Structure 1
Amino acid sequence: MTTPVRMLVVWCPDWPAVAAALAAGVPAHLPAAVFAANRVVACSAVARTAGVRRGMRRREAQSRCPELTVFATDEGRDARLFEPVAAAVEELVVGVEVVRPGLVAVPADGAAGYFGGEQALAELLLDQVSTRAGVECQIGIADGLFAATLAAHRSAIVDRGAAKEFLAPLGVHELDQPDADRAELVDLLRRLGLRTLGAFAALTERDVVSRFGHPGLLAHRLANGRVERPPHRRRPPPELSVPEEFDPPLDRVDAAAFMARTLAERFHAGLAAHGLACTRLGIYATTEHGQELSRVWRCAEPLTPQGIADRVRWQFEGWLRADERDRPTAGVVRLRLEPEETVEGRSLQLGLWRGGSPGMSGEQDEKAGRALVRVQGLLGPDSVFTAVLDGGRGPAERVRLVPWGDQRATTSPPDATWPGRLPEPSPATVLATPTPAKVRDASGEEVALTPRRRLTAPPAEVVLPGGGGPRPVLDWAGPWRVEPRWGGTGGCTRIQVLLAGEPELALLLTRTDEESPKWTVEGVYD
């Protein structure tokens, strides 16, 4: 059994809210909260006192705390403002590893022996972070990173060898840390009646593997106060390091973010070729004046190319946008990514069909991704986009274009309602410029709308642009009414029609609320 390393964790509570307030100059005594998709993801202690909670909708949070200062999520901001905290810890203790913005870990044994014990080291670091970085923090010490993190949440020092006893009474929800998504596993454990880490730890490994699989086994080891997985004992070959030189020097965060995508792909591909994946990423840079910069990022799960790129971008945010006294004196001319710790590549291996449907090759997906990165290298970061389905009433409103490599996240709340939205399926093709059409009833008259916004008659034929004569309507559905937005325009009525011919044609037709209303073709179904 691998003995967990004695770890010290420095935790800054509510860091996204603290960082947002610092960046905006909002005093600490005012309530603040950070929102994503219209829900609270972090809030200050003052806001919690007023009743604001994580996951709460924005309207409810502001009703409970009308003076609440609202911020949007910004991972770059969080990383940039956390760099002084990591630097303050590094002035006293070597081996600093940033787990995520707001949480930094260091080995405790060497520093504790030098400074006269773990209690003395914790008190010294509390003063150091408060003085040098100007923020409040909590410190925890325990065997292993997981136990030390939970100890930091409680400002506790856990005796050596007592991690399992410390974890036993804690809720099983503690397994779902921000850097390790275990929400589904935690929900399943709760439904099975396993509500504490001790109850989960009491199960045998054989039962855990048979019921919860490999992810459950890793979580079970944590609940027992053990290391999640032993490190890969074979030293990574030197060629797995990825160096890059820049001329002119790299001195802008946007340029660094673009560079990080290409570099991350190369780094990840090199590891994958050796059957490895990275769990601790070393980022080492040299400036034009010879200044050496370095930082190690630790991750609970093996890093993907996107995860590697994010951490490189966050680190450059911290270096290049730091205060004047801490900022590098020149741009970066050399950068090296180093796999400080690796695990077997099976941690990232997919199933028989590599995560896709039969006939879809994961290798082809990876090649396509690398090709798109090369296109961006030639034409710029805004030259390649992918579509994300998001909130909206009309088909065109629901499609949002995201630059390749950026996070494909929705911006609308998942439970939002969109009155007038079309039922599934959506049209396969949405026209950028709707084309005019004529919709007639059985007597040859144009189909219009009644004052109650109903069709004056069932559609019998449709005339499309380009000639060819009218096409009979085999079937139709609707109408779906979209009311105009408050104080604005945008009202319309939509119907679906299936037209006879070779081949049959299914269309989405729209009639807008205008002084001279007309029918247009908005979309085409496969």
Structure 2
Amino acid sequence: MNTHAVRRIVVWCPDWPVVAAMTAAELSYSTPAAVFDANRVVACTGPARSAGVRRGMRRRESQGRCPELVVCQHDPDRDARLFEPVAAAVEDLVPGVEVVRPGLVAVPARGPARYFGSESAAAERLLDQVAARTGQECQVGVADGMFAAILAARRGTVVAPGGSREFLAPLGVAEVDQPDGSAGSDHRDLVDLLRRLGIRTLGAFAALPSSEVATRFGAEALTAHRAACGAEQRPPSRRRPSPDLAVTEKLDPPLDRVDAAAFVAKGIAERLHHALGAVGWACTRLGISARTENDEELHRVWRCAEPLTPTGTADRVRWQLDGWLHGRRGAERPTAGVVELSLFPDEVVDAGGLQLDLMRSATGDADARASRAFVRVQGMLGPDAVLTGVLDGGRDVRDRVRLVPWGDERSPSRDPDLPWPGRVPAPSPSLVPEEPWPADVLDGEGCSIGLTDRGRLTALPCRVTSAGRTRAVSRWAGPWPLAERWWERDRTTARLQVVLAEEDADESGEGETALLVVFERERWWVQGVYR
């Protein structure tokens, strides 16, 4: 199986997300810091690791272990923009650079090894080149197969030809769950299952017959099994994409802003995938080329473990353009705006294996048409003209849903599945005003109700006045004190649910309206409406 694996040199910049974040913030790398995505650590600095912070750890636990931890949010655009100088430095020494993800690039090993005399000499030259051109630290590894080469780079070693399987055998089975997707998609559940079955190492996993792996664990596990054997993720294919599949966009006026790049990326990605879909192919290796007003030629190749989607393609185009236009630390920026942008599939696979579930297969065409319409609206009115909701974490109802522009990554900034003590109990309000409405909660005498120092009501609520209308209260629940960021507040805050009496409501409660009101800034406000 190893005979099918292409030998590669991989350049890896450790902890790149946090390195990029610290560079952008102009902070020292000796500062304990971590980058978080969905409230979990993506990467952290050495001082943070020394304090006990680890990848995958929740934010509260990491801050408990390291109180002085600097918290940075995950930003793929920033990571790609600041990584462009590193990719350019590697490409100046060795042609054929493939960006696997920001922080990780791969090149074929055969040419550099012949030119510099050996693979070890080529690795040393790459280390010196990156350090001299960008000032960044990196590690280089050489092995057969992308997965083995990435793990070799993490250990800074050169694996002998044909020795990838032996190199991988003693490593823990958790290595198949790599953030770069070199062994396929998310394999956390697979790793957990293999451990419970007593399979602890990649060697033990590779020893299983591939037919048994496919039958017992499915197609995704088979991809991980090939990686554990030191083979390529997909069997080699001699199919070469037709040059006619390349798509080109003429840009007038020239493109020199990232927001404009985002619009162009979405449209050209849709065109590319429409052309690939017409011939039944999917792209796994994407070439991006650009030409500026001053005839400067820019080119980069992005490799993806899984076949690219239109959104994934648009993301890579946007990242690459951002890196070219606003790269730092040693990268030569274009001297003029981009007037021509081209995408071409450098490597394709048969799309027949990309099965959709029943619901997606029934709605896929309609979803694609809607997506194209949304992109056109954004092109005419701006990125904020079309927004989509993302379920987020938080205690306040206004924090539970975050609106992001159509086409942007729809991932929560905070884990919505955390307990979030003090949040409003279910069900959630059906209407949440952009700005709370002022209100008065009155007792039986018509006097305003307040809160005691212990967060209790000063009287029983009987009526609510809002928008110039007073309505009786039939039932109520609460109050629930809100203790979030109590050190910044000099007031008592609590929420209350009240059900308004309705003349046309039946005994089951149909037709009733309820309000979520909050006592804040020494008065009541309507934060949500239940219908």
Q: Same fold (TM over 0.5)?
A: yes
- Correspondence for 2:516: 510
Q: CA deviation at 1:496?
A: 4.9
Gap change, CA 1:250 and 1:462, over 3 Å in 2: closer
Q: CA deviation at 1:67?
A: 5.2
Provide the aligned length of Structure 1 versus Structure 2.
Answer: 516
- Correspondence for 2:162: 161
Decide whether the 8 Å contact of 2:378 with 2:386 is kept in 1.
yes
Taking the aligned partners of 1:354 and 1:224, their CA distance within structure 2 comes to 34
Taking the aligned partners of 1:408 and 1:155, their CA distance within structure 2 comes to 35
Q: CA deviation at 1:456?
A: 6.1
Decide whether the 8 Å contact of 1:80 with 1:318 is kept in 2.
yes
- Correspondence for 2:303: 298
Q: How big is each residue's C-alpha offset from its partner over 1:328-360, in whole Å with a ceiling of 9 and x where there is no partner?
A: 1111111100100111113433122227xxxx6
Structure 1 gap ranges (5+) = none
- Letter matched to residue 145 of structure 2: G
- Correspondence for 1:8: 9
Gap change, CA 1:477 and 1:286, over 3 Å in 2: same
> Structure 1 stretch 317-326 or stretch 432-441: which is displaced more?
432-441
- Correspondence for 1:198: 203
Taking the aligned partners of 2:114 and 2:283, their CA distance within structure 1 comes to 30
- Letter matched to residue 82 of structure 2: L
> Structure 1 stretch 71-80 or stretch 490-499: which is displaced more?
490-499
Provide the secondary structure at the position in 1 that maps to 2:308.
coil
Provide the secondary structure at the position in 1 that maps to 2:324.
helix
1:410-421 to 2 correspondence within 5 Å?
410-414=412-416, 416-421=418-423
- Correspondence for 2:338: 332
Q: CA deviation at 1:57?
A: 4.2
Gap change, CA 1:523 and 1:93, over 3 Å in 2: same
Provide the secondary structure at the position in 2 that maps to 1:88.
helix
Decide whether the 8 Å contact of 2:283 with 2:348 is kept in 1.
yes
Taking the aligned partners of 1:279 and 1:516, their CA distance within structure 2 comes to 58
Q: CA deviation at 1:376?
A: 0.7
Taking the aligned partners of 1:160 and 1:436, their CA distance within structure 2 comes to 73
Gap change, CA 1:73 and 1:483, over 3 Å in 2: closer
Gap change, CA 1:29 and 1:349, over 3 Å in 2: same
Greater RCO between the two (CA within 8 Å, min separation 6)?
A: 2
Answering whether residue 401 of structure 2 is matched by residue 399 of structure 1, we say yes
Taking the aligned partners of 1:77 and 1:35, their CA distance within structure 2 comes to 14
Q: CA RMSD in A?
A: 3.3
Match of 1:289 among 290, 294, 310: 294
- Correspondence for 2:480: 481
Taking the aligned partners of 1:151 and 1:288, their CA distance within structure 2 comes to 41
Taking the aligned partners of 2:81 and 2:520, their CA distance within structure 1 comes to 50
- Letter matched to residue 205 of structure 2: F
- Correspondence for 1:125: 126
Answering whether residue 235 of structure 2 is matched by residue 230 of structure 1, we say yes
- Correspondence for 1:494: 497
Decide whether the 8 Å contact of 1:507 with 1:521 is kept in 2.
no
- Correspondence for 1:344: 350
- Correspondence for 1:272: 277
TM-score (ref. length: structure 2): 0.87
Gap change, CA 1:210 and 1:478, over 3 Å in 2: farther
Taking the aligned partners of 1:68 and 1:484, their CA distance within structure 2 comes to 23
- Correspondence for 1:112: 113
1:429-448 to 2 correspondence within 5 Å?
429-432=431-434
Q: CA deviation at 1:214?
A: 0.9
Provide the secondary structure at the position in 2 that maps to 1:35.
strand
- Correspondence for 2:374: 372
Q: How big is each residue's C-alpha offset from its partner over 1:9-67, in whole Å with a ceiling of 9 and x where there is no partner?
A: 11111112222233333334444332334443212224323433223344554554455
TM-score (ref. length: structure 1): 0.87
Answering whether residue 76 of structure 2 is matched by residue 71 of structure 1, we say no
Structure 2 gap ranges (5+) = none
